[in-house]
Amino acid sequence: MTSELQEYIGQPLVVDSKSYYTYIGTLVAEGEIFITLKDVDVHDQRDSNTSKELYLIESLKYGIKVNRSAVKIVRSEIISLSLLSDIVKY
């Protein structure tokens, strides 16, 4: 069975979670329970005066502010995910 996320392997993603955290990093693996990102920016939206949208646009423009070498995210905590390159600049 082919995974729905297979096309995203090796590409930078934005992962929105049920919490205040947004993850920006490269998808390297995905399993039944977790997805794994490398070179990750784990961003707590409560620690920033910048809107989430502007933060993502800046990440696209200037690069990912890596603060973790790798992160496993529980799939059930994910609200959405998209390619970083799909962020629309306004």
- Rounded Cα distance between 6 and 55, Å, is 26
**pLDDT 10s digits, 66-88:** 999 999 999 999 999 999 999 98
Per the document, the length of the chain is 90
The verdict on pTM exceeding 0.85 is yes
> Does any domain span residue 46?
yes
**pLDDT 10s digits, 34-50:** 999 999 999 998 888 88
CATH classification of the domain holding 14: 2.30.30.100
What is the count of structural domains for the chain? 1
Q: Can you give the residue range of the structural domain that contains 52? A: 6-82
Mean pLDDT of 48-54: 86
**pLDDT 10s digits, 6-19:** 999 999 999 999 99
In 3D space, the residue among 31, 41, 29, 27 whose CA is nearest the CA of residue 69 turns out to be 41
What is the average pLDDT score of the chain? 92
